[in-house]
Amino acid sequence: MKSLIFAPSTVFLISLIVAISALGAAFVAQFSFGLKPCILCLYARVPYVFLIIVSVLALLNGEKHNRLFLILLTIGFLASLAIAGFHVGVEQHWWELSGGCPVEKLAAKTSEEMLADLLATPLAPCDKVAWKVFDISIVIWNAALSLVMCAYLLLALLKKKADA
């Protein structure tokens, strides 16, 4: 009897929902609640864009290359976990972000260009907890979500291998 929770189409759909939800939460926090992201918060969004693309392609692909898509999704959530884990360390002051938040030099720019650059620069420091849910930093939630998804995808890969 096949387990529906580990069926490739279910795994791809769950990955898509998780990635859209995580990215959506970041955008809602930024644009609806005015929460300015730090540079690490912006980097944390990249794996979710990758995960959305891979999940959609996997769902559209039918039964072809399921193992490859499972591996790609696992890599995407591992990347998300790595970024979130590093950000947790910066937030908890276990280590520092080398060089701090990057800022472009303003020399040789017009005042309009400087203003546009300053407005586009993330205002939030990477080592401050910006948002908590149930008294836990959203960065820790992101790391936990990524870890759970990695475990789920690895189980799906093992199930796929056992079924083969």
| Tokens standing for residue 74 | 């696992």
Q: Is 132 helix (H, G, I), strand (E, B) or coil?
A: strand
Q: Mean pLDDT lowest for which of 49-53, 56-60, 97-101, 139-143? A: 97-101
Sign, Cα dihedral of 56, 61, 144, 84? negative
At residue 105, the pLDDT reads: 52
Confidence (pLDDT) at 115:
66
Exposure string for 114-136, b = 16+ CB within 10 A, e = fewer: eeeeeeeebebebbeebeeeeee
Q: For residue range 7-66, what is the model confidence (pLDDT) as tens digits?
A: 889 999 999 999 999 999 999 988 898 888 888 889 999 999 999 999 999 999 877 788
| DSSP code of residue 133 | E
Task: Kindly report whether the global pTM for this prediction surpasses the value 0.75.
Answer: yes
Give the residue ranges of DSSP H helices in 61-137. Answer: 66-91, 111-120
Give backbone dihedrals phi and psi of 132, rounded to 5 degrees, phi first: -125, 145
The mean-pLDDT minimum among 68-77, 87-96, 107-116, 143-152 falls in 107-116
106-118 mean pLDDT: 65
Q: Where are the domains of the chain?
A: 4-98+107-138+151-163
